Copies of this chain bind each other. A is one copy, B any other.
Amino acid sequence: MKRLNCLTTLSLLALTSTIMADNGKQFRKLLISSSENVNEKTWKLTDQDVPTSGKWSVTKKTLKGGRSEGVDLVTVDNGELSIVVIPTRGMSVFDVKSGDVRLGWDSPTTDIVHPQYVNLQSRGGLGWLEGFNEWLVRCGLEFAGHPGKDEFINNTGDKASMDLTLHGKIGNIPASEVEVIVDLIAPYRIRVRGVLYEKFFYGPKLKMVAEISTIPGSNSFQINDVITNLGAFDQEMQMIYHGNYGSPLLEKGARVIVAAKSVAPMNEHAAKAVDKHETFEGPTKGFIEEVYLYEPISDSEGKSMVMIHNAAADRSSTITWSTKELPYLTVWKNTAAAADGYVSGLEPGTGYPFNRRVERKFGRVPKLKSGESIKFGLEYGIQNGEAKVKDAVARVKAIQGGTKLKLIEQAPILD
């Protein structure tokens, strides 16, 4: 018996025996599977159901009404954090709540939108925006940046041009498989693992195993993704972890703290304010996005950090990741009026969000050999209270060390 069909009403005894059948190490529940014809419309597992520690739960539900009809949600509550994962929208994370801190933002799109209502090609390739309201959305996998023409090889082996669409397709592809996995040995990590494909004839053959996990009682969680090229040929891929922060972290006087060698503006408009790259404005009607491109520095273990803290520096959120995996960091400032979407992004990536033809030119598009995998691991933390924020800032500064951040005043010349 490979997978457990655990009902919350099962006795612990019964569970223990099925768990033993699974080697005593992990509880596993398949929630969604196109290959096994499964979609549990509602499901709940709590610490009462499996022998772990702490108070926690994992809940599956399916949304109803309007453009949300049929959207699957999996919520992990570890007792400290509540993490809402959207399998139907590429395993995006809608939001994360911890006390009065929320990772997330108030998008003009309020419904969680089923991909059937998103036409990526509309508005000249900006259709992605119609469903955009998540805290964390992956951009990728075949392409991840700005819309516009790029070349590809067509079905007769010839070069053809193709209109890339904003931020790629993965955020609007439902997971083919979703499994909840709970480690039955300390620290009892709770995992939501999805399998997604951008894989078709005369196209890329990319598989993503996307995992969000946390430990009961923790105020941090991890993203661990593995992208594999299942095709016979080398395959380009791109990935940007597009994390979007609104109130309460984002506010007038909020700051981003980076460990980086350099920062450059993405375009001429952003160049005008490059010296203020570390600070955020309050909601400002007519604010035009400013995007800054960082070269992160890493510590002896290859890890870099970025964080955003509020004006009082008593609430913050950190990202820790390997610069070998994600060598670039983009900070997106969009401190527009609340009604138009007051939001800023911290975006570690395999590159910057230029169109793929630009990224390729600058050598920022990884290529996976046939059968090759690439891993991305990110740890997100939430700090509540002045002392914890101070400590997090110190950790970023320690990575920066004596290196001076080079402020590049000109936007890159693209052509």
Q: Which A residues are closer than 8 A to B by beta carbons?
A: 32-39, 61, 63-70, 107-112, 115-117, 119-124, 126, 129-133, 152, 154-157, 160-163, 165, 173-177, 197, 199-203, 205, 230-233, 267, 269, 285-286, 288-289, 336-341, 370
Contact = CB atoms under 8 A, between A and B. Distances in A.
A199 B341 CA distance: 11
A311 B309 CA distance: 68
Number of copies of this kind of chain in the complex: 3
23 contacts: A33-B64, A34-B67, A34-B69, A37-B61, A37-B64, A65-B176, A66-B174, A66-B175, A67-B174, A107-B201, A108-B199, A110-B176, A115-B117, A116-B116, A116-B117, A123-B203, A124-B163, A132-B200, A133-B201, A202-B341, A232-B339, A232-B340, A233-B340
B69 A132 contact: no
Give the secondary structure class of A's interface.
loop
Given A124-B163, A154-B126, A269-B156, A232 B64 contact: no
A130 B120 CA distance: 15
Contacts of A177: 65-66
A268 B174 CA distance: 40
8 tightest A-B contacts by CB? Answer: A232-B337, A66-B176, A34-B66, A34-B65, A157-B288, A39-B64, A34-B68, A116-B116
B66 A37 contact: no
B341 A201 contact: yes
Contact of A111 (B163, B176, B340): B176
Nearest to A72: B69
Contacts of A165: 122
Contacts of A61: 37
B38 A64 contact: yes
Contacts of A285: 232-233
A289 B155 CA distance: 7
A199 B11 CA distance: 48
A157 B269 contact: yes
A411 to B, nearest CB: 12
